Amino acid sequence: MSEPVRLHAHRQTQCKTCRLAPVCLPGSVSHEEIDVLDGLVKHTRPLKKGEFLFRQGDSFHAIYSIRSGVLKSVSLSANGEEKIIALHFPGELIGLSGMDSDAYLVTVQALEVTDVCELPFGPLDERLIRLPQVRRHLMRTMSREIRNTQQMSRVLSHKAADTRVISLLVNLSARFRSLGYAANQLNLSISRNEIGNYLGLASETVSRVLTRLQENGLIEVEGKEVRILDVLPGNSGCNADSRLSLH
């Protein structure tokens, strides 16, 4: 059994030498633009599990790119109820939704030790005229966030719990594959209770669905790991050696 992929970061790596640059930045970004970005990026200490990158209502001041680790976005209702609305992985940008309101609209919390690059938005905004491909990339990223939100809304409109859980597995598989790793070799620090919160299901329901998928020969549950043994409905890219780490 192969080990699940564990993503590590070297905090002082510049954009031009970062292995995540092909994921984080479009290939059309010039060396000159990357040099400008390197002059703006701040590298802070890694977040510990449970620490917050920012909280809902905090003043918007920066966007972030994940170097390593996993984060969750949580929306807080007026009565303080928490709802997980997104999971974030290396190479992805966070915080863009705060640009319009000058305040972060969600709380973002680390699910494991996580390293991020901070891009102060004021200095970045002043230089965007010199960074046309970066500006275009930010617009595309915001468009992708809207599309992902719409897709998630469609998933949650399904009453079938199996459909929701399988859709999550398929989504995570595709996102980790985009990082250049074998399909579904993931290392996540997300509990079944959090999965249930994200999908609008009870944690017991999540467990029952995973058990049912195992009984049908589609996955194999081994403690914190779920090994995909067959093609899941809607995911033609899965293979028999894929693994998805859950707990």
Helix (H) or strand (E) holding 93: strand 93-94
For the stretch 169-178, pLDDT in tens is 888 877 777 7
How much is the average pLDDT of 126-147? 82
Encoding tokens for residue 12? 């002082």
Domain boundaries, the chain: 21-155, 160-245
For the stretch 12-68, pLDDT in tens is 567 777 767 666 776 667 778 778 888 888 888 899 999 999 999 999 999 998 988
Q: Cα-atom radius of gyration of the chain, to the nearest Å?
A: 18
**Is the separation of the CB atoms in 169 and 235 below 8 Å?**
yes
**Cα 174 to Cα 68, 128, 148, 184, 238, distances in angstroms:** 17, 30, 13, 8, 9
pLDDT on residue 75:
93
CATH 2.60.40.3680, applies to 21-155: no
In the CATH scheme, what architecture does the domain 160-245 have?
Orthogonal Bundle (1.10)
Task: Count CB neighbours of 31 within 10 A.
Answer: 7
